[in-house]
């Protein structure tokens, strides 16, 4: 069954982090994603991972004569481009927005960077942690008495980067469908992560946020919203915010200490967290699951990456799929009529000859590119 993006062609310049993840999402939903791979793998990998699934791939040395022209010819027939180089790199390759949109006015030109296309940091190197560091979000995460804790690369690269790029490109495609005109999408991780933190900026302005880690309801300050260690050294999560869910938590845990009736007294939170930690430490994770999982106490075990696919809820929903003996997350979200599909992971450059033939190149032209070092 064709996915919802079937019929759209996206050219992806090989990169790392959010760009490939965005391309994977579009490919999962049926887009024909053509990745421009390097002839020689870069420092952080050369494809072949789960994130690279669902593409066709052509390997080019863009510094060799004729290679950039191949990209332009692919873009002539494409609906969107994804690139994640530093600002100016695509322009120096002769593949900037002006050149591409002049040839294909409908093209949506997606640009993924950490700092954005302009501003004083635009040309500086960085990674996810740096980009979210200037948004306020990183400062709010972690233990009060320790430095901020890196939230993997989920908040910046994936949430503030890949998701925003996908959203921006799809917005551009919808608009181009109405007007016939493409445009540039400047997706900066520092912008996207700032937007994700909008509610917290709002809370700060209205006095509902304390600028100190573990002092607020959602940052681990409240005893009823956080993670706890069990008797077996494993962990559970509790998020019983609403009064009725909090009452159920106390009931199911057998807590009759009157101090726990002061749910919203911030001054009591530290001592209540310590008391609840002592209670949770008295049983194993499995015992707590038997008491609380599936109830309205807002509880779940904290699973590691190996445990997660085996959880009964994931198994019932088919949240993980298997390929080549490996379990990995299935495409999301789920569409009822045109669902996404996780397709095979290609080898970098696997479709070079096929794609060149689709462009109409004769074997003599392909051989000439090979002799110039533009293709392998």
Give tens-digit pLDDT for 302-340. 999 999 999 999 999 999 998 777 889 999 999 999 999
Q: What percent of the chain has pLDDT over 70?
A: 98
How does pLDDT run across 246-275, given as a tens digit for each residue?
999 999 999 999 999 999 999 999 999 999
The pLDDT tens digits for 91-144 are 999 999 999 999 999 999 999 999 999 999 999 999 999 999 999 999 999 999
What whole-number distance in Å separates Cα of residue 19 and Cα of residue 216? 33
Do residue 83 and residue 33 come from a single domain? yes
Domain that holds residue 289: 222-310
Q: How far is it, in rounded angstroms, from Cα 168 to Cα 182?
A: 12
> 306 and 328: one domain?
no
In a domain, 116, yes or no: yes
Domain-embedded: residue 290: yes
| Position 47 in a domain | yes
Q: 44 pLDDT exceeds 60?
A: no
The domain that contains 133 carries what CATH number? 3.40.50.10540
Do the domain assignments include residue 212?
Answer: no
Flag the least confident range among 37-41, 100-104, 134-138, 152-156: 37-41
3-state secondary structure of 64: coil
Q: Are residues 300 and 245 in the same domain?
A: yes
Element (H, E) at 372: helix 363-372
Cα 210 from Cα 129, distance rounded (Å):
22
Q: CA 240 to CA 300: how far, in whole Å? A: 11
For residue 22, name the pLDDT band (cuts at 50, 70, 90). very high
Q: What is the average pLDDT across 152-156?
A: 97
Q: At what angle do helices 198-205 and 189-196 cross, to 10 degrees?
A: 60
**What average pLDDT does the segment 167-173 reach?**
98
pLDDT at 244 over 90: yes
Q: How far is CA 18 from each of CA 24, 162, 163, 230, rounded to the nearest angstrom?
A: 10, 4, 8, 35
Name the domain boundary from 262, 288, 310.
310
Angle between the 164-179 and 18-28 helix axes, to the nearest 10 degrees?
50
List the catalytic residues: 127, 157
pLDDT computed for residue 323 by the predictor? 78
Tokens 């009591």 correspond to what residue?
A: 268
Backbone φ/ψ region at 45: left (φ over 0), alpha (ψ -120 to 50), beta: left
213, 138 contact by CB (below 8 A)? no
């Amino acid at each position: 069954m064709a996915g919802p993006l079937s019929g759209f062609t996206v050219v992806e310049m090989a990169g790392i982090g959010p760009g490939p993840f965005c391309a994977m999402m579009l490919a999962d939903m049926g887009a024909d994603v053509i990745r421009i791979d390097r002839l020689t793998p870069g420092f952080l990998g050369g494809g072949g991972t789960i994130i690279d699934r669902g593409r066709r791939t052509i390997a080019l040395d863009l510094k060799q004569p004729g290679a950039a022209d191949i990209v332009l010819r692919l873009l002539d027939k494409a609906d969107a481009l994804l690139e994640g180089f530093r600002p100016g790199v695509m322009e120096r390759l002769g593949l900037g927005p002006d050149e591409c949109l002049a040839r294909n006015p409908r093209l949506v030109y997606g640009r993924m960077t950490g700092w954005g296309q302009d501003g004083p940091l635009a040309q500086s190197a960085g990674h996810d942690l740096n980009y979210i560091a200037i948004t306020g979000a990183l400062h709010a995460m972690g233990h009060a008495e320790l430095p901020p804790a890196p939230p993997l690369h989920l908040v910046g690269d994936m949430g503030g980067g890949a998701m925003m790029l996908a959203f921006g490109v799809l917005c551009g495609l919808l608009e181009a469908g109405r007007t016939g005109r493409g445009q540039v999408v400047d997706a900066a991780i520092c912008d996207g992560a700032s937007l994700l933190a909008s509610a917290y900026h709002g809370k700060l302005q209205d006095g509902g946020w304390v600028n100190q880690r573990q002092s607020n309801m959602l940052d681990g300050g409240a005893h009823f919203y956080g993670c706890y260690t069990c008797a077996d050294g494993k962990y559970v999560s509790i998020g019983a915010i609403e009064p009725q869910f909090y009452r159920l938590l106390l009931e199911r845990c057998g807590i009759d200490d009157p101090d726990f009736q002061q749910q919203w007294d911030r001054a009591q939170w530290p001592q209540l967290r310590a008391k609840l930690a002592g209670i949770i430490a008295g049983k194993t994770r499995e015992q707590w699951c038997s008491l609380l999982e599936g109830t309205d106490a807002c509880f779940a075990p904290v699973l590691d990456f190996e445990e997660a696919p085996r959880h009964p809820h994931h198994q019932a929903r088919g949240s993980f799929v298997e390929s080549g003996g490996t379990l990995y997350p299935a495409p999301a979200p789920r569409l009822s009529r045109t669902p996404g599909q996780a397709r095979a992971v290609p080898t970098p450059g696997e479709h070079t000859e096929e794609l060149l033939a689709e462009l109409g190149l004769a074997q003599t032209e392909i051989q000439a590119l090979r002799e110039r070092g533009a293709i392998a």
